[in-house]
Amino acid sequence: MSADDIYLEAADRMEKAVHAFEHQLRTIRTGRASPSLVDHIRVDYYGAMTPLGQIANIATPEPQLIVIRPFDPTALKAIEKAILGSEVGITPNNDGKLIRLAIPPLSEERRRQLANQVKQLGEQAKVAIRNVRRDANRDIDKLEADSAVTEDQAHKSKDDIQELTKDSETKVDDLIKRKSEEIMKF
């Protein structure tokens, strides 16, 4: 494995860490209705655990309401059961044709809790990024010990990996800031 391969692998793994963090943020309520709050919920649909977004149309006709219209009306009970069993914390209202989820407004205390949760998730993402950096630097050290790269090349490679780490952490910080502002907005 060359220094370039190590860099590319580190870049790929850091990008995946940032994307995983972005995906986690989509599931956090902001006080506004969003299909991403429920589209990841898995429903037992004819024996297969299927994401809700694949078996139903999810819409937000109002800022405080999510409407779920299943493609197969027989799946209503299974969808309702999956929502109740999820961590969404919203009781579904089933009228026989579709399911309505009324999103209650968030209290100030709950907004602060959610903002802190976003920061904690961000720190976990940064730790994952730093772990990638550590692994890449260890691989560079092995190349240097095996005389596959010179000391200067190893130093340059480590600098490039550090720059990549800073860029990834900046992306995470930007996501934290944006989501926290969204949560705290009334």
Q: Which residue would you say has higher pLDDT here, 30 or 114?
A: 114
Q: What are phi and psi of 68, to 5 degrees?
A: -115, 120
Closest CA to 64 of 93, 103, 101, 27: 103
**Across the strands, what pairs with 62?**
65
CATH 3.30.1360.40 describes domain 35-102: yes
Domain ranges in the chain are: 3-26+107-184, 35-102
Assess whether pLDDT exceeds 90 at residue 105. no
The CA distance from 73 to 138, in Å, is 55
How high is the pLDDT of residue 186?
59
pLDDT-based confidence at residue 162 (cuts at 50, 70, 90): very high
Kindly report the CATH number that applies to the domain delimited by 3-26+107-184: 1.10.132.20
How do 42-45 and 48-51 pair as beta strands? antiparallel
Inter-CA distances, 33 with 53, 101, 135, Å: 15, 9, 40
**CA 70-82-124 angle, 5° bins:** 115
How high is the pLDDT of residue 15?
96
90-101: per-residue pLDDT in tens?
888 988 889 999
Assess whether pLDDT exceeds 90 at residue 89. no
Assess whether pLDDT exceeds 80 at residue 87. no
Assess whether pLDDT exceeds 90 at residue 128. yes
How high is the pLDDT of residue 64?
87
Assess whether pLDDT exceeds 90 at residue 62. no
* 126: its two tokens: 């940064």
